[in-house]
Amino acid sequence: MTVATAAPVLPLARDTVERLSAARQEPGFLRDARLAALARYEATAWPSGEEEEWRRFPLRDVPKVDLERIIDTAHPPSEYTSVPLDAARHGLVFDRMIDVARTHPELVRRWLPSGEGIGSHDAFRALSDALFAHGSGFLYVPAGLHVELPLEVHKRWRAGTDPIVFRTIVVAEANASVTLVEELSAEPGGPRLAVPSLEIHAGPGAQVRYVGIHRFPEDVWEIGQQRVLSARDSQLASFNILVGSARTKLGVESDIRGDGAEVKLYGLVAAGDGQRIDVNSFQRLDGKASTSDLLYLSALYEAAKAVYYGVIRVEPTSSGTGSYQECRNMLLSDKASADPVPVLEILTNDVARCGHGATAGALDEEEMFYVMSRGIERLDAEQLLVRGFFQRVVERIPEPQVRARVLAALAPRIGRIAELDTAAA
């Protein structure tokens, strides 16, 4: 049974990995790391479709892209990075992975291993470790450095069918603070696979904010994984704005190891047509008095479907932790659908709070009536209500320019009213 439903694994040749490394003129340790990841990829089965995380994702239909084509260097992604002027002087490193590997090999060597994560994502983690290419970036914030302005990067791929595989590594040392905004897009043209991987390491007392805006065109399948690790007393907030791709699979994992850490995982999904946005999350809590809260909001138009499967696991060795999972789905068409599955696994009674909530439903007719009775057209009223629905997440982003970017990404789907930035007031 398992064999029949298993997806065809995309083959990856050793030659491809070696040629990619050579073409990028990488140092030997990077090449060795890639080959080690290749061995992992070969030894790891793709999800069979029986795993809870993959049960609702049509992995069998994944575009049969030729992984070898990643060597095609004719289509480098455009990157626009704005680095604060003299931050580098204080030890800030923010650049393409390949450049950092040459200028700061010791940093890349230390933080490159992706470690363990959600088990059923192993194959894709190994794939991105072996094949990460253009678009890969490295951000390092030394201890105690506060980066005031958000760092922004826009990765835009040219049209093509070559796979998009990249890694983003963010390291914030003790008591550092930083905000990273990453926007991902591509020109349309041909079926395509994108495998983005993100790792964030928040050191003791560090504050990290990550905003990922995923707006690949409709012919892209995105299979991504994100892992955030929290040391004691760190504060970490991640925002995923998911508006693009035919199919999106995103595994989000938060691992709290230290005491007093705070994690916020936010997500906004705005999807239409036949899009399917499938998010799975794993929030692991250990240590004393740490908190982990997840809030995902979806607005679903036309025949879009949002799938959410998430687990909170409170370890038996933890004490006084607090956690919450919330997944709300607004169904805006009679063909839209949602499967929210929030799961709790609590192995101790020493919890301060733990719970979850999930809803799915249409626009509230009473609210519509109220708004329309003020003379607003039905379509505008709907846009206004969706915009209001998203506000709970939008207002958590403090910088107005980042909020504007998020709202602009949402606008094509939820309407121009999206761009009203009420939080600015």
Partner 1 sequence: MATDVRKDIPDNYKYGWYDADAKYVNVKKRGLTADVVREISQTYKKEPQWMLERRLKALRHFEKRAMPTWGADLSGIDFEEIYYYLKASDKNVQSWEDTPDYIKRTFDKLGIPEAEQKYLAGVGAQYDSEVVYHNIRKDLEAKGVIFTDTDTALREHEEIFRKYFGTIIPANDNKLAALNTAVWSGGSFVWVPPGVDVEIPLQAYFRINSESAGQFERTLIIAEEGSKVHYVEGCTAPVFSTATLHSAVVEIIVKQGARVRYTTIQNWSHNVYNLVTKRATVEADGVMEWIDCNLGSAVTMKYPSVYLVGERAHGEVLSVAFAADGQHQDAGAKMVHAAPHTTSLITSKSISKGSGRTSYRGLVKIYPGMKKSKSTVRCDALILDQTARSDTYPYMEIDEEDVSIGHEATVSKVGEEQLFYLMSRGLTEAEATAMVVNGFIEPIVKTLPMDYAIEMNRLITLQMQGAIG
Q: Which residues bind partner 1 (CB under 8 A)?
A: 316, 329, 331-351, 353-362
Please identify, using beta-carbon distances, which residue of 360 and 420 lies nearer to partner 1. Answer: 360
Please identify, using beta-carbon distances, which residue of 368 and 420 lies nearer to partner 1. Answer: 368
Instruction: Give me 296's structure tokens.
Output: 């995902």
Cα 246-249-255 angle, rounded to 5 deg = 155
CB of 181 to partner 1, least distance (A): 32
CB of 254 to partner 1, least distance (A): 18
d(CA 48, CA 79): 35
Please identify, using beta-carbon distances, which residue of 91 and 322 lies nearer to partner 1. Answer: 322
CB of 304 to partner 1, least distance (A): 11
CB of 362 to partner 1, least distance (A): 5
CB of 257 to partner 1, least distance (A): 20
CB of 146 to partner 1, least distance (A): 37
Please identify, using beta-carbon distances, which residue of 80 and 369 lies nearer to partner 1. Answer: 369
d(CA 69, CA 71): 5
Please identify, using beta-carbon distances, which residue of 156 and 356 lies nearer to partner 1. Answer: 356
Count the neighbouring beta carbons within 10 Å of the beta carbon of residue 73. Answer: 12
Instruction: Give me 17's structure tokens.
Output: 């990995």
Instruction: Give me 243's structure tokens.
Output: 């508006």
Please identify, using beta-carbon distances, which residue of 10 and 332 lies nearer to partner 1. Answer: 332
Please identify, using beta-carbon distances, which residue of 25 and 359 lies nearer to partner 1. Answer: 359
d(CA 103, CA 95): 10
CB of 324 to partner 1, least distance (A): 10
Instruction: Give me 413's structure tokens.
Output: 């789907």
CB of 396 to partner 1, least distance (A): 22
The β-bridge relationship of strands 207-214 and 151-157 is unpaired
Environment class of 334 (CB within 10 Å of its CB; exposed 0-12, middle 13-18, buried 19+): exposed
The β-bridge relationship of strands 276-285 and 305-314 is parallel
Please identify, using beta-carbon distances, which residue of 268 and 338 lies nearer to partner 1. Answer: 338
Phi first, then psi, for residue 174 (nearest 5°) are -50, 130
Residue 309 Cα to chain centre, angstroms: 15
Please identify, using beta-carbon distances, which residue of 143 and 358 lies nearer to partner 1. Answer: 358
d(CA 259, CA 200): 18
Q: List CB contacts of 15: < 8 A, sequence separation 6 or more.
A: none
Q: List CB contacts of 56: < 8 A, sequence separation 6 or more.
A: 278, 307, 309, 339
Closest residue by Cα to residue 195 from 277, 115, 128, 241:
128
Closest residue by Cα to residue 258 from 236, 281, 283, 285:
285
CB of 358 to partner 1, least distance (A): 4
